[in-house]
Amino acid sequence: MEKRPKRIGILTAGGDCPGLNAAIRGVGKTAIVEHGMEVIGFVSGYTGLIHKEYTMLEESKLSGILTLGGTILGTSREKPFKNDLNNDDINKPELIVNNYRELGLDCLVCIGGNGTMKTAARLTDMGLNVVGIPKTIDNDVWGTEITFGFDSAIAIATEAIDRLHTTANSHQRAMVIEVMGHSAGWIALYAGMAGGGDVILIPEIDYNIRSVCKKVEKRFAEKKPYSIVVVAEGIKVPSSKTAGSYICECISEYTGVEARETRLGYIQRGGSPTTMDRILATRYGSYAVEIIAEGKYGKMVAMKDGHLTTIPLNEVENKLNLVSTDHPLVKMCRNMGVSFGDEY
């Protein structure tokens, strides 16, 4: 019979997002209070694991962090399995395995997005016990219906769009707002729907700039005083431009309508998590420890049909959760006259 896990490590890797501390707290408190485990927090993602930089997470350190944005452990985009030409004498995977063994870890919890899960899968291949927890504002991790961080990001993006309506109305302008999402359009779609966007451009649907301009002109012809154009950062644009600036320039140049651009940027990733993200991150964290206690490793916790479940880490890697072109929200938006730039 396998021995009961007594000591686990935890790290947060990749871009930060609201809810990371709630997840750390969910893991830590469940591990300590329910299972009497010790919890080690690695500093700055995989960097801390490579360099053996860590802090003991006693229960007292987990109090008061639920509502905090960012991550108390710090994060980095370190990819230990990627060749590092400046440091080719250092074998990072080997250092990680040695540190894991020296610290007497029974399992490592990796909280992150796609890159983090890929590394977690490789560490599993090297014989470590690993459990992944999906996070990202982009909501693009394959194998789960939702990642924490997404709800907070769309709440912020929606509030920003709300604020653009009034100034757009006053000046009778087209307001272009660029939101994050990497190569997925989830933030643009959800915030675009919630914020009443007239045009929503996402990487999954090829747009035609003439179609976008026609929509803006049509609205003005119909005496609608302004237009809101929500643009995902990942749409195709000429390489010298950002998504929002390109669309804004085109509207200014090809229509008679004055256009302005807003790039929301890192505001989407900062600050306190929403209620739903606190709950989701806590559930993922606590559930991760339950599966560790059952001796189940090499898995990512996930949401399927609204229920907590797991998926093997090696099934998650190299895949993305993208918006399908016939997603119900896309269809509903279209039925209400929203343009995705692919009409006409």
- Find the part of the chain contacting ligand F6P (CB under 6 A) among 130-138, 196-204, 284-292, 333-341: 130-138
Closest to ligand F6P by CB, 65 or 267: 267
Q: Which residues in 162-193 are b (16+ Cβ under 10 Å) and which e?
A: eebeeebeeeebbbbbbbbbbebbbbbbbbbb
> Taking contact as CB under 6 A, which single stretch among the options 131-139, 210-218, 289-297, 298-306 is the one that binds ligand F6P?
131-139
Residue sitting closest to ligand F6P (CB) = 180
Closer Cβ to ligand F6P, 38 or 233, answer by number: 233
Catalytic, 138? Answer yes
**Least distance (Å) from ligand F6P to the CB of residue 21?**
17
Question: Judged by CB, which is closer to ligand F6P: 8, or 13?
Answer: 13
- Cα–chain-centroid distance for residue 342? 27
Task: Name the residue nearer to ligand F6P (CB basis): 16 or 261.
Answer: 16
CB of 237 to ligand F6P, least distance (A): 14
**Residue 214 vs residues 144, 178, 217, 244, 275: alpha-carbon distances, Å:** 37, 20, 5, 17, 39
Contact region for ligand F6P (CB under 6 A) — 1-9, 133-141, 170-178, 273-281?
Answer: 133-141
Look at the block and give the residue holding tokens 């002109």: 217
Minimum distance between the CB of residue 132 and ligand F6P, rounded to whole angstroms?
16
Q: Give the span between the Cα atoms of 22 and 15, in whole angstroms.
A: 16
Piece of 46-54, 132-140, 213-221, 326-334 that binds ligand F6P (CB under 6 A) = 132-140
**Residues between 212 and 251 with contacts to ligand F6P, criterion CB under 6 A:** 233
Contact string 145-184 vs ligand F6P (x = CB under 6 A):
-----------------------------------xxx--
Sort 295 into a burial class: Cβ within 10 Å, 0-12 / 13-18 / 19+.
middle
Site for ligand F6P in 250-309 (CB under 6 A): 269
Nearest approach, Cβ of residue 322 and ligand F6P (Å): 14
* Residue tagged 């653009």 (tokens): 164
What tokens appear for 211 in the block? 């179609």
**Is the backbone of residue 153 left (phi > 0), alpha (psi -120 to 50) or beta?**
alpha
State which residue, 181 or 197, has the beta carbon closest to ligand F6P: 181
Note whether 101 and 123 are within 8 A (CB).
Answer: no
- In the list 124, 136, 274, 282, the residue contacting ligand F6P (rule: CB under 6 A) is 136
344 near 208, Cβ under 8 Å? yes
The span from the CA of 265 to the CA of 11, in Å, is 25
Between the alpha carbon of residue 222 and those of residues 84, 168, 173, 225, 307, the distances in Å are 57, 16, 14, 9, 46
Please give the size of the binding site for ligand F6P, defined by CB under 6 A: 11
Q: How many CA atoms lie within 13 A of 83 on its CB side?
A: 2
Q: Kindly name the residue from 138, 140, 198, 277 that is annotated as catalytic.
A: 138
Cβ-contact 151, 41 below 8 angstroms? no
Cβ neighbours of 155 (radius 10 Å): 21
Nearer residue to ligand F6P within complex by CB, 99 or 147: 147
- The site map against ligand F6P for 3-32 (x = CB under 6 A) is ------------x-----------------
Site for ligand F6P in 63-82 (CB under 6 A): 77
| β-strands 299-304, 130-134 pairing | parallel
Closer residue to ligand F6P in complex, CB, 147/252: 147
- Residues in contact with ligand F6P by CB under 6 A are 15, 77, 113, 136-138, 180-182, 233, 269
Return the active site residues: 138
